[in-house]
Amino acid sequence: MKIIAMIPARYGASRFPGKLMQNLGGKPVIVRTYEATKDTKLFDKVYVVTDSEVIYNEIKLSGGEAIMSKKEHDCGTDRIAEAVEHMDIDIVVNVQGDEPFTSKEGLEQVLNVFKGADADKIDLASLMTEIHDWKEISDPNCVKVIVDKQNFALYFSRSPIPYPRDKNAAVQYYKHKGIYAFRKQALMDFYNLPKRTLEAAEKIECIRYLEYGKNIKMAISNTQGIEIDTPEDLIRANKVLKEENKNNDNTPNDKYRNFPMVPKVVFGQGCFDQLASILAPKRKNKAPFIFIVDDVFTDSKAFTERINIRFNDKLLFVSTKEEPKTTQIDDLVKEIKSEFNYTPSGIIGIGGGSVLDIAKAVSIMLTNKGSAADYQGWDLVKNKAIYHVGIPTISGTGAEVSRTTVLSGPKIKLGINSDFTPFDQVLLDSDLTQGVPKNQWFYTGMDCFIHCVESLNGTFLNAFSQSYGEKAYDLCKEIFLDDTITEEDSRAKLMMASWHGGMSIAYSQVGIAHAMSYGMSYVLGTKHGIGNCIVFNHLDEYYPEGVTLFRKMVESHQIEIPTDICKNLTEDQIETMIDVALGLVPLWENALGDDWATIMTRKKLRDMYLKM
């Protein structure tokens, strides 16, 4: 199938005359758009089709391909139709000349429409993106589109459609993005059909297709570009390009990472009851919220009623008897996709660290192909996760704030560590942590304490990590060693210690206890918090002060740390445990420095495991 891209370009523009020849980072806007389209490598040919000699000559001087057209065309589609009439092609994509940040992802999405099961019914395809700001929804310069259940376009308008007569109705609005992919015959039909009244009234050319009964399939793309419609847009585009050039400098400093944080958080006793009002603006038409809840709440009707299930929302209780697995994530995603035709409005995780990790992983895998195991590692996730909310009912893991989701896969135990992993919203209600069994409370709290010790003693330490780590460390000492603290204060402070402990490793790393605990958990299924405590109890050589304080806490709360769990391991088990632990290179680098491999040999690690 031969596919080409056409970029219609006229010099005149009512809102911003000559905009395509304006300077954008040292090149005209139209040249930037041409180069961005060509760089996607999706097309057999890319052309600019224009009525302007200025634009034509500029593209030619830049080494591009341009076609001169008649000046009297009413729209860009007519201009393209004239240009391709005698070309032997199958699909032609109309790329807007004023969108210099055109992305490969968006173009791939619109082309993939022709590979679907209903491809034979499609005359042309286009893109739409979700919009939420009422100012944009009501802006006549923003073209809105409504679609049927199969995402075929019903109508395009400059007015808000649908009109929200009921202000409480959950409506998702979509903005039409001006990228089209035509079958050649559909394009030629358009060229030969006269304009009708609706197109003339709205000044939206694709309405002509609908008026003549053509099928327009819409694909959703939430990649954000910049359309150069005004001088202000050009200023903004130049700033963006300058920042991109800075980030793409040939001498990057990887020491400084632009890590994301949780953008919204509510803290306070009883704040869980705000959940319904927080979710309401995020609800999409016919798209459910999926609540992933620790199965300890299965029989708690009073608690589940507070979740306020609506419409076709789904409540999924998950067991935390075992550590989360990649296969478990794959099964949950498959279950959700098979039950619902629409991508969920969001995933809400309610539980301890395991449940929160499951919720984060599911939200990622609903927008990324393959198995969760494919994304174990650092920065392997390419597509933004769907909206996800974390509500901890146990404190200490830091899962509510971290950029990772730790899973046991077929070969390793490792997190999906990415910029898309952190929650979009967190609710911190210390009342939800009442009634946690003493041992579980202690082991999970020690996870936080060990985070701090490893971060504060690591080679990656910096003022950012140190400020959070020291605060969490001090809170842990108060919670676990101060006999005068009330239970209510203890719950609230442990919740904040968990938050600060998670933040302390966001710009740093954990260390030896976590690396060895991962290996232990992978082979023996040991729960994360318990595993950390078992290992940490043997790390006097590396964290003497922290281990001494840890043992005081153990004694104060009369906790028995399991022993001899590695005593009867087979040779294969011990080798696997060592392989998993040593595979976590960043953790060892933080703990022992660049020469860690000469310090932590396989023999050394074996001897340490066999003492546990």
Q: What is the pLDDT of residues 356-366, one digit of tens each?
A: 999 999 999 99
In 3D, which of 460, 401, 500 has the Cα closest to residue 592?
Answer: 460
Flag whether 452 is in a domain: no
- Domain co-membership, 547 together with 594: yes
- At residue 353, the 3 state secondary structure works out as helix
pLDDT of residue 195: 85
Residues 111, 93: contact at Cβ < 8 Å? yes
What's the rounded mean pLDDT across residues 260-289?
94
Q: Which domain holds residue 541?
A: 487-610
Q: What torsion do the CA atoms of 378, 580, 546, 560 make, to the nearest 10 degrees?
A: 130
- Give 309: exposed, middle or buried? Use CB within 10 Å, 0-12, 13-18, 19+: middle
CATH number for the domain spanning 558: value is 1.20.1090.10
Tell whether 308 is covered by a domain: yes
Residue with tokens 């939200």: 363
Q: Which pair of structure tokens corresponds to residue 169?
A: 């109705």
pLDDT in tens, 45-80: 999 998 888 889 889 988 999 999 876 776 778 888
Residue 538 falls inside a structural domain: yes
**Which residues are paired to 406 by β-bridges?**
415
Task: Tell me if 448 is assigned to some domain.
Answer: no
**What value does the mean pLDDT of the chain take?**
89
H or E stretch covering 470? helix 463-481
Residue 147 and residue 272 share a domain: no
Amino acid letter for position 300: S
Write down the pLDDT at residue 249. Answer: 47
CA distance 609 to 413: 17
Lowest mean pLDDT among 63-67, 82-86, 385-389, 454-458: 82-86
The reported pTM is 0.59
**Same domain, yes or no: 128 and 14:** yes
Q: What is the pLDDT of residue 167?
A: 67
Average pLDDT over every residue of 334-353? 95
- The least confident of 98-112, 218-232, 417-431 is 218-232
pLDDT band at 15 (very low <50, low <70, confident <90, very high): low
119 and 20 inside one domain: yes
Q: So what's the pLDDT on residue 250? A: 39
For residues 116-120, give the mean pLDDT: 86
Question: Residue 38: which CATH number?
Answer: 3.90.550.10
Contacts for 592 with CB less than 8 Å, ≥ 6 apart: 459, 512, 599, 600
Give 124-174 pLDDT, tens digit per residue: 899 998 888 888 899 998 899 999 999 999 999 999 999 888 766 778 899
Boundary-marking domain end, from 217, 234, 251: 234
Q: Do residues 429 and 469 make contact, with C-beta atoms less than 8 angstroms apart? A: no
Question: Binning pLDDT at 50, 70 and 90, where does residue 246 land?
Answer: low
245 located within any domain: no
Q: List the structure tokens of 485.
A: 């603290």
Q: Are 408 and 326 in contact (CB under 8 A)?
A: yes
Same domain, 56 and 128: yes
Q: How far apart are CA 566 and CA 408, in angstroms?
A: 19
Q: Looking at the structure, do residues 412 and 499 belong to the same domain, yes or no? A: no
Q: What is the number of domains present in the chain?
A: 3
Q: Within this chain, do residues 358 and 407 fall inside the same structural domain, yes or no?
A: yes
- In 3D, which of 8, 202, 26 has the Cα closest to residue 99? 8
Name the residue among 70, 66, 46 with its Cα closest to residue 57.
Answer: 66
Query: Could you tell me the CATH number of the domain that includes residue 313?
Result: 3.40.50.1970
> Are residues 398 and 294 part of one domain?
yes
pLDDT band at 228 (very low <50, low <70, confident <90, very high): confident
Tell me whether residue 356 is in a domain: yes
Q: What is the structure's pLDDT at 16?
A: 66
Categorize the per-residue pLDDT at 300 as very low, low, confident or very high, splitting at 50, 70 and 90. Answer: very high
Q: Are residues 361 and 278 in the same domain?
A: yes
Question: 419: Cβ–Cβ under 8 A, 6 or more apart, which residues?
Answer: 259, 260, 379, 381, 403
One domain, residues 370 and 505 = no
Q: Which of 147-156, 187-196, 446-455 shows the lowest mean pLDDT across its residues?
A: 187-196
**364 is a domain residue:** yes
Question: Exposed, middle or buried, 85 (CB in 10 Å: 0-12/13-18/19+)?
Answer: exposed
Identify the band that residue 520 occupies on the pLDDT scale cut at 50, 70 and 90: very high
Alpha carbon separation from 53 to 14, 465, 473 (Å, rounded): 19, 58, 69
**Residue 144 within a domain:** yes
212 with 284, same domain: the answer is no
- Looking at the structure, do residues 491 and 557 belong to the same domain, yes or no? yes
Q: Is the pLDDT of residue 253 over 70?
A: no
